Amino acid sequence: MGKKVTWICSLLLLFGLSSVASDEILNCRKEINIDKAAECFVDVAVREKGKLLSEPRDSEISTLTFINNKNTKYLPDNVTTTFPSLQTFIASDCSIKEIHKTNFVGLSKLKNLYLFRNQLANLEGKVFSDLISLENLELQNNAIDHIDRNAFHGLGKLKILYLNYNKINELHPETFASLSSLETLYLDNNAIIHIDRNTIRGLGKLERLILENNKLDKLEDEMFASLSSLKRLIL
């Protein structure tokens, strides 16, 4: 029986019919950029949930890139164990349909997260809660139509948030409650009908608020009175 199994496995390998698909292992191509910082590029598409990066732990990597890969639908779950010093995570121009907290758990040093031009529709509660150092979050040009009230929980250092060019039609009054350091908020080109004044009440450091090309009928009295740092407002 043992010889027969070995013979069958050999045939499978010979004809390329191994049970392990070619995209099971997520290899990473390491490069040093002009600033002498280490970057890692993933060339293999991620088509299933729960995939893991195969690279050994590398604390030198500061940037991880999944860019312009239309076959990538999900993000791996072990980024922090592989690249504990990651500061920039780029997964733009892919076909990512959903993200979960497991994709970002432990990335406490991450400062920039680029997820624009994907197919995201929903932001679940506390999905970014481990990103305590995040300063720039780009989610524009997706299909987001639902944002959990706690989606941005833990992002106390976030300065710039791009949510423009999505399908957002309403915002919970507590959506931005955790964003005490936010300076720029892009909400333009959505389908927002109404904004409760409490939605932006805690944004004392907000300097730029872009709301053009929505479906706002009217604004509440003294809607922006609490925005003491506001310098630019586009309706």
Look at residue 192 in the predicted model and tell me its pLDDT.
Answer: 97
CATH number, position 207: 3.80.10.10
Look at residue 50 in the predicted model and tell me its pLDDT.
Answer: 84
Look at residue 21 in the predicted model and tell me its pLDDT.
Answer: 39
Look at residue 5 in the predicted model and tell me its pLDDT.
Answer: 36
Residue 110 falls within a domain, yes or no? no
Look at residue 51 in the predicted model and tell me its pLDDT.
Answer: 85
Same domain? 86 vs 124? no
Same domain? 77 vs 124? no
Alpha-carbon span 164 to 229, nearest angstrom: 21
Q: Are 68 and 91 in contact (CB under 8 A)?
A: no
Same domain? 86 vs 128? no
Name residues of the chain where pLDDT drops below 70.
1-25, 55
Same domain? 134 vs 206? yes
Same domain? 198 vs 149? yes
Same domain? 178 vs 138? yes
Q: In what order do the strands lie in the sheet with 208-210?
A: 29-32, 38-41, 61-65, 88-90, 112-114, 136-138, 160-162, 184-186, 208-210, 232-234
Do the strands 136-138 and 160-162 form a parallel or antiparallel pair, or are they unpaired? parallel
Q: How many domains does the chain have?
A: 2
Domain that holds residue 76: 22-90
Same domain? 64 vs 161? no
Look at residue 219 in the predicted model and tell me its pLDDT.
Answer: 87
Look at residue 25 in the predicted model and tell me its pLDDT.
Answer: 60
Look at residue 26 in the predicted model and tell me its pLDDT.
Answer: 75
Look at residue 49 in the predicted model and tell me its pLDDT.
Answer: 87
- Residue 68 identity: N
- Of 40, 71, 90, the one marking the end of a domain is 90
Residue 97 falls within a domain, yes or no? no
Same domain? 195 vs 136? yes
Look at residue 214 in the predicted model and tell me its pLDDT.
Answer: 97
Same domain? 85 vs 135? no
Same domain? 39 vs 144? no
Look at residue 203 in the predicted model and tell me its pLDDT.
Answer: 96
Alpha-carbon span 62 to 116, nearest angstrom: 20
Same domain? 131 vs 225? yes
Same domain? 84 vs 138? no
